[in-house]
């Protein structure tokens, strides 16, 4: 995970060179992702074979020295860490089963310290459950990844063979089980689920070897993703702090723009348009939405300018002009006028509220613009380094 040093360096870079400079540094950090520690959690319902899978992934048989304890009932009462074979930076965690009296869904995440883990393997047996979907949704919401494993598949096949003995086809039955799980997850709102079918009694058969291969292939990308998520969260925090700082300047700028006695400035209904344009232009640069910044970001991230620019959707994120500022003020004042027309019929309220509304139109314009440009900046970051890749 990114540390204090990285956070300080990224903050200093953002202050000096904006998001473009930060993204250049991101590439350097991502090149060192092999040093990142990855915590893999094996979770799911009670007595689904979680400990057996932990042992299998470590190349240890149940009951051997150093193996996770197994049994017909839930044996894991606390999250327990085991070292992944030949990988000092990868740890496997055997988690208690969800849905038992001691580990209800409502308190499960707090008890197992859910945020600690970077990647999840969810076990279910014999079929997909509501708790499995609950886990998958929570993992997805945290922008983390998971595999879904249906264990004890040999038992399901045995019952299927008995029922359909005359025309039984094991491969077709396995495919039916796998497709049913995938469709169930998709209907539940899970994006692109990966499903494996295994048997703890016969690891050489079914999908266990495939699970090992896919996990091995995914580990470098998973570690890179963990680092990127950590660094992205730091940058998002920096953008939010920049937004707060700009929000703190709005009242002063709104007041200064109300000065209409200056003969050399461009005015709009008594409002100094140039002052507003200057402030919004400054914000656009600070949030790295100007053309030069977007070009640097695209170049650093290996994207086209069109791809990066597509993340910018707000009016002032795209461009700042006197005409756009005037149009924005007109739209706000038209809305305020309708409110004032209604309020003026309310005794003792109409006049004072109407006066206050007319003074805050420029404040509303600036506040909305700063918020929208900050969101543009966050979308640019996601476009440059999408977590879904």
Crossing angle of the two packed helices 208-256 and 4-30, in degrees rounded to 10: 120
Q: For residue 367, give the nearest of 285, 279, 289 by alpha carbon.
A: 279
pLDDT at 188: 82
Where are the domains positioned within the chain? 35-206, 236-384
pLDDT at 348: 46
* Model confidence band, residue 354 (pLDDT cutoffs 50, 70, 90): very low
pLDDT at 160: 58
User: Which CATH code, of 3.30.1490.110, 3.20.20.70, 3.10.129.10, 3.40.50.300, is assigned to 35-206?
Assistant: 3.40.50.300
Surface-to-core class of residue 98, CB atoms within 10 Å of its CB (0-12 exposed, 13-18 middle, 19+ buried):
buried
pTM here? 0.67
Does 170 have pLDDT greater than 60? yes
**Mean predicted confidence (pLDDT) in 303-332:** 90
What residue has token string 């509220």?
Answer: 353
Burial string for 16-29 (b: 16+ CB within 10 Å, else e) reads ebbbbbbbbbbeeb
Name 39's bridge partners.
Answer: 91
| Choice between 307 and 129, residue whose per-residue pLDDT is larger | 307
pLDDT, one tens digit per residue, over 272-300 is 788 889 999 999 998 999 998 899 888 88
First to last CA, the chain: 19
pLDDT at 373: 96
pLDDT at 352: 45
% of the chain surpassing 90 pLDDT: 15
**Mean predicted confidence (pLDDT) in 35-63:** 83
Q: For residue 92, give the nearest of 79, 102, 104 by alpha carbon.
A: 79
Phi and psi for 215 in degrees, rounded to 5? -60, -45
Cα R_g (the chain), whole angstroms: 28
Please give the structure tokens belonging to residue 253.
């700028």
Across all residues in the chain, what is the average pLDDT? 79
Give CA separation, 116 vs 37, 92, 104, 207, 335, in Å: 11, 12, 19, 28, 48
Which of 110-114, 253-257, 320-324, 351-355 tops mean pLDDT? 320-324
Surface-to-core class of residue 353, CB atoms within 10 Å of its CB (0-12 exposed, 13-18 middle, 19+ buried):
middle
Does 4 have pLDDT greater than 80? no
**Mean predicted confidence (pLDDT) in 302-309:** 90
pLDDT at 349: 44
pLDDT at 115: 85
pLDDT at 233: 83
pLDDT at 284: 93
């Amino acid at each position: 995970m990114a540390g204090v040093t990285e956070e300080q360096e990224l903050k200093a870079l953002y202050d000096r060179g904006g998001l473009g400079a930060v993204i250049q540094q991101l590439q350097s950090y991502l090149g060192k992702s092999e040093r990142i520690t990855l915590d893999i959690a094996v979770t799911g319902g009670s007595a689904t074979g979680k400990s057996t899978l932990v042992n299998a992934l470590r190349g240890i048989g149940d009951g051997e020295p150093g193996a996770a304890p197994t049994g017909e009932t839930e044996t894991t009462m606390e999250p327990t860490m085991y070292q992944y074979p030949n990988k000092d930076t990868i740890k496997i965690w055997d988690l208690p089963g969800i849905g038992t009296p001691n580990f209800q869904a409502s308190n499960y995440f707090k008890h197992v310290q859910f945020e600690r883990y970077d990647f999840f393997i969810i076990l279910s047996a014999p079929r997909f459950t509501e708790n499995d979907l609950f886990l998958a949704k929570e993992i997805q919401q945290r922008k983390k990844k998971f595999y879904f494993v249906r264990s004890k598949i040999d038992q399901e096949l045995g019952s299927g063979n008995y029922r359909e003995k005359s025309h039984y086809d094991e491969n077709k039955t396995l495919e039916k089980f796998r497709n049913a799980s995938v469709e169930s997850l998709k209907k539940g709102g899970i994006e692109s689920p990966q499903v494996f079918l295994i048997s703890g009694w016969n690891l050489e058969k079914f999908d266990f070897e495939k699970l090992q291969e896919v996990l091995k292939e995914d580990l470098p990308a998973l570690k890179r993703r963990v680092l990127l998520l950590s660094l992205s969260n730091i940058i998002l925090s920096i953008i939010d702090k920049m937004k707060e700082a700009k929000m703190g300047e709005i009242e002063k700028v709104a007041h200064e723009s109300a000065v209409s006695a200056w003969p050399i400035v461009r005015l709009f209904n008594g409002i100094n348009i140039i002052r507003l344009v200057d402030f919004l232009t400054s914000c656009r640069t600070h949030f790295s939405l100007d053309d030069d910044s977007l070009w640097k970001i695209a170049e650093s991230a290996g994207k086209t300018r069109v791809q990066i620019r597509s993340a910018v959707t707000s009016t002032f994120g795209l461009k700042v002009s006197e005409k756009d500022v005037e149009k924005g003020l007109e739209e706000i004042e038209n809305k305020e006028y309708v409110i004032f027309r209604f309020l003026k019929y309310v005794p003792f309220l109409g006049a004072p509220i109407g006066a206050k509304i007319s003074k805050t139109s420029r404040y509303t314009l600036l506040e909305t613009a700063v918020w929208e440009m900050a969101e543009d900046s966050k979308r640019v970051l996601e476009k440059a380094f999408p977590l879904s890749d």
